[in-house]
Structure 1
Amino acid sequence: MTGLAEATRAERPTLLTFLRDELAPRPGRLAAVARIAGCCTLVVAIGMLYQIPLVGYSAYAVFLLGSRETVGTLLVGVVAALAFTIAVVLSLLFYTLDAAEPALRLPLMAASTFVAVFLTRTIALGPVAFLAGFVLVLSQTLIDRIPSLEALTRAVLWLWVVVMVPVTVSILVNFAIGVSPGQLARRTAARLLHTLADALRGHSAEPLKHAGAEAIELLEVREHAGKLDPSLRSRSAIDTMLIETLAELLVLLRLLPRSTPTAVRRQLAGTCEACAAALEQRGAPASAGIDPAPFDQAGLAPEVLPVVVAMAAAVERLRAGLVSRTTTNEPPAPAAARKGILVPDAFSNPGYARFALKTTIAVMAAYIIYSGVDWPGISTSITTCFFVALGSLGETIHKATLRMTGALVGGLIGGLCVVYVEPQMTDIGQLCLLVAAVSAVGAWVATGSDLISYAGMQGAFAFFLTLLQGYAPDTDLTAPRDRIVGILLGNLLMTLVFSLLWPTSAVDRARVSLAAAFRALAGLMRDESEAKVGSRLAAIRALGEARRFVTLAAFELRMLPARAWLERSGGVSLETLDRVAAAVFVVVDQQTVPDWQTAPEIADAARRHDQAVAAWLGACADRVAPGGQAKPLLPEPPRPDIPSERSSMEATTSLHTALEARELLRSELENAIAVPS
């Protein structure tokens, strides 16, 4: 068994393998690319025809507005419109105060940055606060370049138009030819079920590599669908249960032994296919269902039986849920409790204020530096400080790296087009073809995972700024040079500030996620009443977040002491914890066996074991949390204290299955701590 660091290094792919995986075609990707490229082309054409300033920024806004489904695009568009409206109004107000007072402008810029970044982390409308603060600070920097107050006012008012054009175009195009969130959710779930069925039949499970993350994302897509179709709100609970069951099946598949009989695999796969077909046809599954009970008498091996029974129970729960969803009308769900404007620990948690202060220091340092050397072209350093500011140093450096890579590639492509392609153009149609082609390339990268998507957005942005400098061909390459220098300055400032002032490591955030996963699993084991809808999802989501933060921790190198925890954390790997979670799900699915009443002593022993495992997992959560022990797992997991002679005499077949499930969990826990010295 290897620790987190060793497991991460062992599983980390080469750059070529990583790019091949990230850039591979996926369902819906080509359509999303076509929408983004088409919107960019329309925005550029409108900007050139009506001579709207900052056409490159308008085209880039399309990438920020892009979403896989219509409601996501609409929500982002509304947020952007609201944020820019607030920013324009505040900018005009601030101009009346500080246009002729540099001594007042600096404190106002610093205060605006601090408040915006603080509110980004502490209020529900954080994105509105972030965008409004970003635009407000940038508008204040325009005073240095546009001394005329009248011209300055006109420039700021044009900013609203610059944003509203891509917002309007993106929303209209997505509602015309985009995918509704309901359609996207059904297609994604059906595809995952088909792929799961193939894996059950013995085909490669490689297509399921990102399936867990896709299943979790279905929750957000389902929420968006409810905003578009109010009738779905009454089915919120059952839909959450269906998504959770799908995610559980994907986790249980990791635990299914290769020795599972083909007939059993085919039966499970057949029901998965029936559920997928029901989703595609928006009806009830044609399958008659699957009964887990006969598997108890099927003569399956001890390591196979409990997993198969758990998967059969989950598949049947999925099938029954789809039937219930189409045949019953649930009463409207009760209104959710209204949340406060601020998060509960907004003022008690110093992390929010520290994060805002660090970002403010970097932003103001960038402004003072480029103003001091009289080089306004590198004002992109301020933009960099805003957009790469994330919760941990690893996340910040990762995003800064993507920003730099995208700027270099996009600037190079734009420069080559300015020198060799643009002089040959004779009309706007040729320009639109070039914009569409390069936008499609950037959009293909931008529709990848979070590990690479920002590079595609920044590549497109650098290309737009290089090519679209005015309303006529321009061979000046000063803009891309200055932009790259500004990005370098911003990256340097953010790295220094975030590594020296209250540094937060991605490892610490990984430990928080791991602790949350342990606590969720402990809650499931504590009592069957705790196994409510959403509990399994909480554990699966937390493990996914931990995996993401461990990956991002690689960007910190050895800059922070917390990084060393990965080297000392022998005793747990994320793959091992996935299997432990699956084993917990197997036990939980068989906590309420009816035959417990026939053997009360065995039932009591099993419950004591479950309580002991819950306490053990809770203790592990305390150890893995930031400030805990180096090794997160306790040395000895609990063992089922059930006399073998009593269990063989009194236990029915279903009881034997439940007991085998606990033996399986014990085995997985022992494997998790079996680290060679």
Structure 2
Amino acid sequence: MNRGDASVPHKRRSRLWFGTGLAQFLKVELKDSPERRVAALRLFIVSLIIVLVGQTLHVPPLGAIALLICLSYDAYANTGQSLAFGMRQLGYIIVTTLISVFTLMLAGNDAWLLLPLSFIILAVALFHARLIAWPTGIALWYSVAVLYSPSTPDQGIYNALWNIPIIGILAIGSWTAVHLTIKPQDPRKQLKANIAEQLTAVEHILSARLADSGVKIHKRAISTLSSPGSFGKVLGLLANAELIHPAMHKRHDTYLALLLEIDGLRQMAIWLDQVLTAEYRAQPMNQEKLNVYLALQSACAALRQGVEESHDVSGQIDTLLVDDVLHNYSPATNPSLLTAVWRALQRIAGLMRDLHDPGASPDIKAIEAETDDNETAGWFPTWLGYEFWATHADSLQFGIKFSLGAILCTLIVESLGWPDINTAIPTCLVAAQTSLGADYRLSILRVSGAILGGLCAYFYVLVFQSQLDTIAGFALATAPIWALAAWISSGSERIAYMGRQLGFSFAMFVLHDFGQVTDLYLPRDRVIGILLGIAVMGILDYALWPRRSIVLARHHSVAALHTLAKFTTRLPDLSLMLKSTLPLRLSTEKDLAVAQDLVVHAILEPDARLPHKVNERTALSAVITGAGNLSGLLQIRRRYRLLSGQQFGNFPDELQQHSRAFDAALTSALENTALVLQGRQPESQTGVADIHALLKQSYTEHHRIDSLPADLAMEWELRFMLDQQIMELTEQLQQKAADSVSCRLKSGSPID
């Protein structure tokens, strides 16, 4: 992306097509795959159901909106996700219908009351959608029912009452039914496959390590510790599985602990695979070390098999992971990374036993008890406090701005007496995205899809319509358009919205009324309405509380750095692993994933090609990437401390003081990096490297590392190497943060 962005000959096309040309973009985004075929087939069947019902029963024009809604939903959803989404959307439909009807009954004949009341309702709906990161369905459906015909409230009530049967039953009902019948994906099977895949990755690393001794160096297939949002997706699978299989919910905390342990095991194995040099790999292992690797590899293979076959293998793991084998290589007094891997496998085996045992796990009970003890429920609602609104001021501005755009478009449409351009109203709500760049990206896709759908509609009228007089002929002639819309909609978010608009534009034309279409102005007016909505929101979005993509990306990066600073603390015992690590992990992933997307969207903003903007995006992208890598390393460090056999309480006081000082220095360094990225003056801090040197010397003297055998000395080198990588990454983050801010200062732009 950055290469394309900085390339002089291709600046213009790289902004629109993510750093490539149009042909390359379409080649990637329209690529065939087995999963995409299934997803496109689902959307195609749903489209045909809606179209045929709309034509045969002559439902109101909401049929086209029902088609747009179904094309907008995730075609790859598993059964749990489909059921949860369908139930939630149906509930929102009922709420929207009630609000719409009561609003029209109360204020339908008084425009001076209807428009302000609608403004408030839309703002609240958008605020709620932004707050829970959910599609803006309530606001969109309300606008269609109320604002499409504000001068005829009786017609509005009629349309609102049709929301439930058409959008709720026809659209959401058919979408859910199709997903539950056409190659349904059981989320529990997907979760098991994900767990087995992670264990397989660890197993391959251990197997390759066994083959390294004087044989050859294997080619590594895994190069990253984690990607932003990856662990959140796994937890999403767990939530979906619990909906379909309610018995799983009773073991929710056990599943959470299991997923966190397996993810931590994978991270430790990948890091070990990355840092061992070729020379060290080629050295032959002594028998004690070989036995440890054999036991670890066999235990990992057994766990994977147990997951795949859904049976308890904890007894087999207890037989394989006998502590005497480990202590023959690494004494209990000598912490090691292999000990951490060994303990992680034992904990995973114990959690697997708990899943197959009707009795609750003592560790999980302790976590639950501690969580309950630390939570205090206040009688005062959170949303009534100042802190809540200060924290969510951006979401409040978001709701006010886009609801204002919808009301302005309603006034323009009514003042012009041109109801066929009322597509401007939902355009303002559909364009409600996270940032200016995202708004522009969606607007481009919306216009492109609308134009393409209009051209397909004209082609249908000129070539096929005069030759068709049956519903079967209509379905046959229009099927290629629905198939094309379904195929594009099943692509990535970089192109999917174009497919949705293509299908919607074509449906608005051919589903407008019975018989042959004679109103050839409909596609033209629809595009004009979309352009009007985009123009209104473009002006409002840029002038009123502009949400610049790069600024929002910086804010999320700062939040991620603050969260990473909390990862540096030492946990007193394993019982706090789940309660402490999980929220930090999810928060960091979420902020970094959002920041990544925002940096991509920033390329479309008006001044994106200025040199200082290009440099700022490059520096901020490096901060996001570095923060993601640092997150993995800090999690490995935390697990090493808890699982490697360290007896921190038995260490000399001087060593403990150096360790705590090093933790404090890392925390201070990350907090200062966040301050620098905000453009603020960093606080004074002690040199991290100097403190680490003292800590390393203390460890060396206390454990007599210089006199240890080569393998055990190497274990300590790995431990020091982990700290060294964390320090280097932290220093790089500070430098890139300073570079990002200096780019803005040189241009004379304010930090925010």
TM-score by length of 2: 0.74
Partner of 1:228 in structure 2?
244
CA 1:60–1:275 in structure 2 vs 1: closer, same or farther (change >3 Å)?
farther
Partner Cα distance (1:75, 1:32) in 2: 18
Moved more, 368-377 or 290-299: 290-299
Moved more, 445-454 or 502-511: 445-454
Partner Cα distance (2:203, 2:731) in 1: 30
Q: Is the 8 A contact 1:247 1:537 kept in 2?
A: no
CA 1:599–1:98 in structure 2 vs 1: closer, same or farther (change >3 Å)?
closer
Partner Cα distance (1:206, 1:422) in 2: 55
Partner of 2:539 in structure 1?
496
Q: Is the 8 A contact 1:518 1:620 kept in 2?
A: yes
Moved more, 480-489 or 315-324: 315-324
* Aligned partner letter, 1:69: N
Report how far residue 142 of structure 1 moved. Answer: 4.1
Partner Cα distance (1:475, 1:211) in 2: 53
CA 1:171–1:210 in structure 2 vs 1: closer, same or farther (change >3 Å)?
farther
State the secondary structure of the residue aligned to 1:283: coil
Partner Cα distance (1:290, 1:674) in 2: 45
Partner of 1:650 in structure 2?
702
Moved more, 413-422 or 492-501: 413-422
CA 1:62–1:352 in structure 2 vs 1: closer, same or farther (change >3 Å)?
closer
Q: Is the 8 A contact 2:668 2:685 kept in 1?
A: no
Partner Cα distance (1:557, 1:595) in 2: 55
Report how far residue 233 of structure 1 moved. Answer: 1.6
Q: Is the 8 A contact 2:140 2:430 kept in 1?
A: no
Report how far residue 94 of structure 1 moved. Answer: 3.5
Partner of 2:69 in structure 1?
61
1:550 to 586, 596, 599: 599
Unaligned 5+ runs, structure 1: 300-304
Partner of 2:627 in structure 1?
577
2:164 to 160, 166, 170: 160
Partner of 1:330 in structure 2?
360
Partner of 1:91 in structure 2?
100
Partner of 2:212 in structure 1?
none
Partner of 2:748 in structure 1?
none
The C-alpha deviation readout for 1:246-292, integer Å capped at 9, x for no partner, is 55567664782474649999998887665554443333469847799
* Aligned partner letter, 1:326: H
Within-5 A mapping of 1:266-285: 275-284=303-312
The C-alpha deviation readout for 1:462-517, integer Å capped at 9, x for no partner, is 23223333333426442222222222221222121111112222223222322232
Partner Cα distance (1:267, 1:405) in 2: 59
Moved more, 376-385 or 484-493: 484-493
Number of aligned residue pairs: 663
Partner Cα distance (2:324, 2:468) in 1: 72
Partner of 1:641 in structure 2?
693
Moved more, 241-250 or 286-295: 286-295
Partner Cα distance (2:95, 2:225) in 1: 42
Q: Is the 8 A contact 1:60 1:461 kept in 2?
A: yes
State the secondary structure of the residue aligned to 1:641: helix
Report how far residue 358 of structure 1 moved. Answer: 1.2
Q: Does 1:40 align with 2:47?
A: yes
The C-alpha deviation readout for 1:529-587, integer Å capped at 9, x for no partner, is 47534033433333222212222222224279996892595794333223222322232
Partner Cα distance (1:655, 1:563) in 2: 44
Partner Cα distance (2:294, 2:490) in 1: 35
State the secondary structure of the residue aligned to 2:92: helix
Q: Does 1:180 align with 2:223?
A: no
Partner of 1:661 in structure 2?
722
Q: CA RMSD in A?
A: 4.6
Partner Cα distance (1:538, 1:451) in 2: 25
* Aligned partner letter, 1:325: L
Q: Is the 8 A contact 2:6 2:614 kept in 1?
A: no
Report how far residue 65 of structure 1 moved. Answer: 4.5
Partner Cα distance (1:298, 1:414) in 2: 74
Partner Cα distance (1:433, 1:269) in 2: 57
* Aligned partner letter, 2:702: E
CA 1:66–1:668 in structure 2 vs 1: closer, same or farther (change >3 Å)?
closer
Report how far residue 384 of structure 1 moved. Answer: 0.9
1:213 to 215, 229, 246: 229
Report how far residue 359 of structure 1 moved. Answer: 1.3
Partner Cα distance (1:571, 1:144) in 2: 47
Within-5 A mapping of 1:521-536: 521-529=564-572, 531=577, 532-534=580-582, 535-536=584-585
CA 1:51–1:326 in structure 2 vs 1: closer, same or farther (change >3 Å)?
same
Report how far residue 644 of structure 1 moved. Answer: 6.0
CA 1:150–1:513 in structure 2 vs 1: closer, same or farther (change >3 Å)?
closer
Partner of 1:49 in structure 2?
56
Unaligned 5+ runs, structure 2: 209-217, 706-711, 740-752
Report how far residue 316 of structure 1 moved. Answer: 6.2
Q: Does 1:540 align with 2:589?
A: yes
State the secondary structure of the residue aligned to 1:87: helix
CA 1:14–1:59 in structure 2 vs 1: closer, same or farther (change >3 Å)?
same
* Aligned partner letter, 2:238: R
Task: Work out the percentage of aligned pairs sharing the same amino acid.
Answer: 19
Larger radius of gyration: 2
Partner of 1:616 in structure 2?
669
The C-alpha deviation readout for 1:22-77, integer Å capped at 9, x for no partner, is 54456744333322222222222223232222232232232245450223333333
The C-alpha deviation readout for 1:381-433, integer Å capped at 9, x for no partner, is 11011111134222322322332233233333343333324444453334435
Report how far residue 197 of structure 1 moved. Answer: 6.5
CA 1:121–1:539 in structure 2 vs 1: closer, same or farther (change >3 Å)?
closer
Within-5 A mapping of 1:251-330: 253=270, 256-257=274-275, 259=277, 261=281, 275-284=303-312, 288=317, 318=348, 321-327=351-357, 329-330=359-360
* Aligned partner letter, 1:356: G
* Aligned partner letter, 1:31: V
* Aligned partner letter, 1:538: S
* Aligned partner letter, 1:53: P
CA 1:87–1:543 in structure 2 vs 1: closer, same or farther (change >3 Å)?
closer
Q: Is the 8 A contact 1:393 1:499 kept in 2?
A: yes
Moved more, 527-536 or 335-344: 335-344
* Aligned partner letter, 1:618: E
1:74 to 71, 75, 83: 83
Within-5 A mapping of 1:437-448: 437-448=480-491
Q: Is the 8 A contact 1:99 1:143 kept in 2?
A: no
* Aligned partner letter, 1:513: H
Q: Is the 8 A contact 2:43 2:71 kept in 1?
A: yes
Moved more, 610-619 or 264-273: 264-273
TM-score by length of 1: 0.82
Q: Is the 8 A contact 1:245 1:317 kept in 2?
A: yes
Report how far residue 295 of structure 1 moved. Answer: 9.8
Q: Does 1:589 align with 2:639?
A: yes
Partner of 2:523 in structure 1?
480
CA 1:568–1:218 in structure 2 vs 1: closer, same or farther (change >3 Å)?
closer
Partner of 1:605 in structure 2?
658
Partner Cα distance (1:671, 1:662) in 2: 14
Report how far residue 605 of structure 1 moved. Answer: 2.5
State the secondary structure of the residue aligned to 1:526: coil
Partner Cα distance (2:570, 2:515) in 1: 71
